[in-house]
Structure 1
Amino acid sequence: MSSHRRVWYPYVSPFDPCPPIKAKAYSTPPSLFLGYQPPNLEQFTPMEALKIGTLWKVFYDPWYSPYEVSTEEDQS
């Protein structure tokens, strides 16, 4: 499974008065890579779905700050 984390390298001006942020990370939604919703997808229970925000497990994306380690990276 591919990572939903992407990195963007913005232009750094030599005249910028602030220290530059050379790499910016962002998260892409899992639905971007699915194309269409196939039938019979695995679902969360109704209570879990209310807490998480989606009914289907393939659409769930836990967002992690770039400064913390996700459990997905720990298992690799």
Structure 2
Amino acid sequence: MFTLYKTWHPIASPFDPCKPILEKTFSTPPNLYIGFQPPNLPQFSPQEALRAGTLWKAFYDPYFNPFEKAKGGLPR
């Protein structure tokens, strides 16, 4: 199992004038986890594919604001 969001913990200096961010998050695209495109992948309908930006559901990567809760689903 993989996740599209990873976290890391940067070093916080005691001399940094700003409040440190103790955990940072970054997104990884789903195509990193699929070597070759397997046959018969599930597909979106043509209208859904235009909204999602891809025909195949395995390659759909929704963008979520890291400061908001993830809503899921296709963009409207």
User: Normalized against structure 1, the TM-score is what?
Assistant: 0.79
**Structure 2: 5+ residue stretches without partners:** none
**Which amino acid counterpart does residue 58 of structure 1 have in structure 2?**
A
Classify the secondary structure of the residue corresponding to 1:18. Answer: coil
Greater fraction of residues in helix: 1
**Structure 1: 5+ residue stretches without partners:** none
Coordinate RMSD, CA, aligned = 1.6
Q: How many angstroms does 1:25 deviate by? A: 0.8
Q: How many angstroms does 1:71 deviate by? A: 5.1
**Which amino acid counterpart does residue 53 of structure 2 have in structure 1?**
G
Residue 13 of structure 2 corresponds to 13
Q: Does 1:57 align with 2:57?
A: yes
Residue 46 of structure 2 corresponds to 46
User: Normalized against structure 2, the TM-score is what?
Assistant: 0.79
